[in-house]
Amino acid sequence: MKASRSIRALRPVQRQSFCLAHRPTPIQNQYQSLPPATPIRRSSTNSSSANSSSANSSSTNEPPKSTVDPSEVSHFNALASSWWDPVGPSRLLHLMNPLRHTFISRCRSASPSASSTPKLRYLDVGCGGGIFAESAARLPHTASVTAIDPTPEVFKIAEAHKRRDPALTVPGKLTYINTSIEDLPLPKTPEEGYDIVSLFEVLEHVNAPGPFLEHILPHVKPGGWLVLSTIARTWTSWMVTNVMAEDVLRIVPKGTHDWGKYVNEEELRSWFKGKDGWGEMRTQGVMYVPGLGWKEVGGSEGWGNYFFAVRRAEA
């Protein structure tokens, strides 16, 4: 893939519909560098119709103010009650969780300062019902986990499940916040950021990956890691995730995946190479094998599911 086309999935535009006859069209030159994220502005419900009409016409060509996709919120709200069912619609997330921790451990072990942080602070963005957040909070080297999600029904499930374990109800151990990353207060200083910011199975569900990541970066402390998992945008991934997983095997709820939102590993690398203060990057391809679970598969980051991590340079 040429560098001039490397950030097409990180564009600040609305979702594209997928058509079997063609891939989403490459973005034009004006999107080759991502603009800074736009702060969220809340509109007044008491404005006059004339003002509303004027505002609508003037904002037609503006990028979205929020990276949260309302249709995604609605979709995951409907799945909330079954989130903690290990054989339910979220089964693949439960099975993937051990590999998430393995990948994070490998990233940290490669850092020269890894042993200098005895207790880690996590921020889990798009935590859903708390599968990763709870498991991270139980680790002996964890100081605290802050987990955020904009989906209200899923948030309720996460809070209720947390109360089943007294160890997680210790003040400050695991804190859920029903909010988006745009509305989460920034750290007062870089050093007050988080050691690990996780973003698992989220990037392919937002409207504008570039601005979304821009909001996340300040929350990673110097020397800390941003760790995520997502899906490459290839014909193989479309066949596996949209056709086989949703339509044929039905191991994933219909409508979970939008192929046009997938982000290639090469696009992420290119985007982060253009960011000052971000250096070491690591990738691990993974694949779900029916009957065996998730397996690490070298090279599969080029055509399917993968983990990606980038480390913020130390001050």
How far apart CA 230 and CA 227 sit, in angstroms, is 10
Backbone torsion region of residue 24, taken as left when φ is above 0, otherwise alpha when ψ lies between -120 and 50, otherwise beta = beta
Backbone angle region of 201, left / alpha / beta, with phi > 0 → left and psi within -120 to 50 → alpha: left
- Residues 177, 180, 183, 189, Cα dihedral to 10°: 80
Determine the Cα–Cα distance for residues 1 and 10; give it in Å rounded to an integer: 15
For residue 314, give Cα distances in angstroms to 28, 142, 197, 213, 223.
35, 21, 16, 19, 5
Binding site feature residues for S-adenosyl-L-methionine: 100, 126, 149, 200
Contact indicator for 193, 219 with CB cutoff of 8 Å: yes
For residue 153, give the DSSP letter. H
Q: Residues within the annotated binding site? A: 100, 126, 149, 200-201, 204-205
Edge-to-edge strands of the sheet including 220-231? Answer: 174-177, 142-148, 120-125, 194-200, 220-231, 305-312, 278-289, 293-296
Annotation: binding site for Mg(2+): 201, 204-205
